[in-house]
Amino acid sequence: MKRSTHIIRLFFQLLFVVFFITCKGSEPAQKQEEQNPQYPKPGTLAPVETQKPNSDYKPAFEGQTRIAGIKTETPYEVSVIADNLVKPWAVISLPDGRLAITEKGGTMRIATTSGSLSSPIPGFPEVDDRNQGGLLDVAPAPDFETSRMLYFTLAERTEQGSLTAVGKGKLSADETKIENFQIIFRAIPYYDNSMHFGSRIVFDKQGNIFVSTGERSDLATRPKAQLLDNGYGKVIHITPEGQPVPGNPFVNTPGALPEIYSYGHRNAQGLDVHPETGDLWLSEMGPRGGDEINRIEPGKNYGWATITYGIEYSGKKVNEGITQKEGLEQPVYYWDPVLSPSGMTFYSSDVFPEWKNNLFIGGLSSKHIARLVIIDNKVVGEERLLESENQRFRDLGEGKDGALYAVTDEGRLYRISKK
Ligand SMILES: [Ca+2]
């Protein structure tokens, strides 16, 4: 009796194990996929752009513009956490998770991620804050936690005119001022107007600095984007002391500025390093149409104003009206009619798995944030975020908390976080 009970119990135990294994094995593959989706996913919806383009120019390759749409699946919430910034131009996370924000007039703020703002922090030289100038971008030094050094770009104002400059200064212990501000690079020459200063600043993985500049807009200065003897319409690559990075592409070219990394840019207000590949990506404003995303390689010419997908504001063609030329780089992606791309950031956190390595770009006149999904250096999906907010999005930064933070010309600080 005792022995038969034991056998029956063993039989049922075995049956349970077999049943368990069978169930696990037959779990539908589709369900597993839902639990473990593979990102990035290409877009499958209609392109987000529905307006007529400015020109009849055709893209150089399929998917260079008006790519398929995509929609964020993860529930998220949008909050305005501050609305009293004065013309903010840049937002970036500090190592402790708070945000450094520049204001164009020449001050900086520190914000908590709940939107509590410091008083305006002074300590900068006089900036040319007319039109597109001012105190522009900010980036903490990689060793900020010990050095307290911050790096900036600004439109420096002098009696000879203005230019895009790069400077550094130390955030005082009590966080009330920037101390010993020093200019370490000037995108020469000085010029008396107030347009197309670029600019963004970003550290590469080696601790050197990339800076984008503009070609100062006028027909007189525009050709300088194609010449290597000046700092207009360039990406600059310098050490934290402002010296050319050894190995820069034009260090041995007679007459070229040794700080130049790439050229042929119009007005680049977006720059970021891809979190996985380490490549430098850049956004730049086209004229009417032809706003671009470029992946930057050393020594290359990105075409302005010889080739462009945009036209003059007057409606005329730019120069010969061509979009491709041997030896000039094609944009990875372009918009026509418009994005007006300003600051941008790659997303690297695990909080939104579907956003990982996506590129988020602030749109000014288009008044939304563009999300681009990228696979193998090609854009495969585009989404518009915060369209209903009706704001000019000037810059975006990824928070240490995996939220996205954005500042607008109207003075708002947004947080976009997982619900
Ligand atoms: Ca170009």
Is 19 within a domain? no
Taking the centre of ligand 1 as the mean of its atom positions, its distance from the CA of residue 337, in whole angstroms, is 15
Strands 201-203 and 178-186: unpaired
Taking the centre of ligand 1 as the mean of its atom positions, its distance from the CA of residue 51, in whole angstroms, is 22
Domain ranges, residue 221: 46-418
Is 11 within a domain? no
Instruction: Tell me how far apart the alpha carbons of residues 267 and 308 are, in angstroms, rounded to a whole number.
Output: 13
Is 310 within a domain? yes
The reported pLDDT for the residue numbered 22 is 46
What is the SS3 assignment for 152?
strand
Taking the centre of ligand 1 as the mean of its atom positions, its distance from the CA of residue 60, in whole angstroms, is 12
Query: Is 196 known to be catalytic?
Result: yes
Instruction: Tell me how far apart the alpha carbons of residues 33 and 20 are, in angstroms, rounded to a whole number.
Output: 21
Taking the centre of ligand 1 as the mean of its atom positions, its distance from the CA of residue 164, in whole angstroms, is 20
CB 91 within 8 A of CB 397: yes
Taking the centre of ligand 1 as the mean of its atom positions, its distance from the CA of residue 312, in whole angstroms, is 15
* Dihedral over alpha carbons 192, 184, 233, 249 (to 10 degrees): 150
Taking the centre of ligand 1 as the mean of its atom positions, its distance from the CA of residue 308, in whole angstroms, is 6
Helices (H) and strands (E) in the chain, counts: 3, 23
Is 9 within a domain? no
CATH for 81: 2.120.10.30
Taking the centre of ligand 1 as the mean of its atom positions, its distance from the CA of residue 305, in whole angstroms, is 8
Kindly list the strands in the beta sheet with 135-140, ordered across the sheet, starting from the edge strand earlier in the chain.
135-140, 149-158, 161-171, 178-186
Q: What DSSP string runs through 357-415?
A: T-EEEEESTT-SEEEEEEETTEEEEEEEESGGG---EEEEEE-TTS-EEEEETTS-EEE
**In tens digits, what is the pLDDT along the chain, a chain of 419 residues?**
456 566 666 566 655 555 554 444 444 444 444 556 789 999 999 999 999 999 999 999 999 999 999 999 999 999 999 999 999 999 999 999 999 999 999 999 999 999 999 999 999 999 999 999 999 999 999 999 999 999 999 999 999 999 999 999 999 999 999 999 999 999 999 999 999 999 999 999 999 999 999 999 999 999 999 999 999 999 999 999 999 999 999 999 999 999 999 999 999 999 999 999 999 999 999 999 999 999 999 999 999 999 999 999 999 999 999 999 999 999 999 999 999 999 999 999 999 999 999 999 999 999 999 999 999 999 999 999 999 999 999 999 999 999 999 999 999 999 999 99
Instruction: Tell me how far apart the alpha carbons of residues 185 and 178 are, in angstroms, rounded to a whole number.
Output: 18
Taking the centre of ligand 1 as the mean of its atom positions, its distance from the CA of residue 234, in whole angstroms, is 11
- Tell me which residue of 106, 164, 306, 116 sits closest to 226, measured CA to CA: 306
Instruction: Tell me how far apart the alpha carbons of residues 231 and 163 are, in angstroms, rounded to a whole number.
Output: 9
Q: Read off the DSSP letter of residue 343.
A: E
Exactly one of 6, 196, 274, 368 is catalytic; which is it? 196
Is 35 within a domain? no
- Domain tally for the chain? 1
Is 1 within a domain? no
Taking the centre of ligand 1 as the mean of its atom positions, its distance from the CA of residue 395, in whole angstroms, is 21
Taking the centre of ligand 1 as the mean of its atom positions, its distance from the CA of residue 332, in whole angstroms, is 9
The reported pLDDT for the residue numbered 37 is 79
Is 300 within a domain? yes
Is 228 within a domain? yes
Q: E strands within 43-85? A: 76-82
Six-digit token pair at 93?
């996370």
- Tell me which residue of 131, 111, 132 sits closest to 120, measured CA to CA: 111
